[in-house]
Amino acid sequence: MVLKNFDEIIEMVKAKPTKKVVVAGAEDEHALEAVFEAQKEGIVNPVLVGNRSMILSNIKKLGYENEAFEIIDNPEGENPGQTAVDVINAGGGDFLLKGGIQTKDYLGPVINKNNNLNMGGVLSAYTFTQIPNYNRMIMLADGSLIIKPTLEQKKGIIRNCVNVLKKLGYERPKVAVICAVETVNPKMQDTVDAAALVEMWKNGELIDCEVVGPISFDLAMDKESAQIKGYNCPYCGEFDVLVAPDLVSANFLGKSWIYTAGSNKAGGAVVGAKVPVAMMSRSAAMEIKFNCLVMCAATC
């Protein structure tokens, strides 16, 4: 299977039982718009954690007062991220969505092993993007969580991305480990890591996927460029996952697709915990938050 757009994922999710999303800091208007639009599609039912009066005021302002929802009034001075995690642990939700709170307040309770969501593996973030005029959707990691991943963390990032795509119906996702060049250079650690990841794949440490690297972005995305450079790989122009060397490059690339390539069809999550954790910038458009809900509902 190869997914080409979010409409395909939405139809996939609508055929499944409705999931319950717990929104941490649900006073945020874009988050409210996203969850209620997703509810109209039969994708989620919302549990809204935050200041009850502010949430109700914004729901009325947005015209959703007649929709079904549950509000959990967050105690003053308490972290709504922790309250949301407590709801998940009590069986009150299937996954989390970040509303109008700081990332540290949202992710801190998820990472804290005392809260039983962190299973001790690698937690990483991905974005799944629909790029105009490209032949498939592309998964990019990690643009928001691991600043400078080690070799073992890159291995975990690949496993997490493959697990998500397997849940979406992919049999053997094709993974490109992106570097600036296509050859191993001892002075460029990213190329050394890429070669090591390919060896791990060959040795069976990374399964249910194809791993290629080091490979530059242009060759990964364009078959003709690979042919011109003599890069012998059957997957150029057909990769499903791009693993960036660090957070800055992944963040920069993902945002360039959105803000300069017209790719507002993007969504993702933090994965590797017991439940998907939808996280995006507080400035993200409602549509991107909606797509994050779709991705989490499809994979939890």
Residues 6 or more apart in contact with residue 85 via CB below 8 angstroms: 96, 109, 110, 115, 117
- Say if residue 95's pLDDT is above 90: yes
The residue assigned the tokens 């969505």 is 97
Query: pTM of the entire structure?
Result: 0.94
The pLDDT of residue 279 is: 85
Q: In this structure, are strands 241-243 and 95-98 parallel, antiparallel, or unpaired?
A: unpaired
Query: Could you count the other beta carbons within 10 Å of the beta carbon of residue 18?
Result: 16
Rounded Cα distance between 294 and 69, Å, is 18
The pLDDT of residue 264 is: 72
Reported residue count of the chain is 300
Among residues of the chain, what percentage have pLDDT more than 90? Answer: 89
pLDDT in tens, 41-64: 999 999 999 999 999 999 999 999
- pLDDT classification of 283: cutoffs 50, 70, 90: low
* Cis before 214 (ω within 30): yes
Task: List C-alpha distances in Å: 189 to 24, 103, 150.
Answer: 38, 29, 10
Rounded Cα distance between 74 and 88, Å, is 15
Query: Could you count the other beta carbons within 10 Å of the beta carbon of residue 73?
Result: 13
Rounded Cα distance between 244 and 165, Å, is 17
pLDDT in tens, 140-169: 999 999 999 999 999 999 999 999 999 999
The pLDDT of residue 17 is: 95
Task: List C-alpha distances in Å: 130 to 118, 212, 281.
Answer: 29, 22, 18
pLDDT top residue among 288 and 191: 191
- Say if residue 76's pLDDT is above 90: no
Element (H, E) at 105: helix 103-111
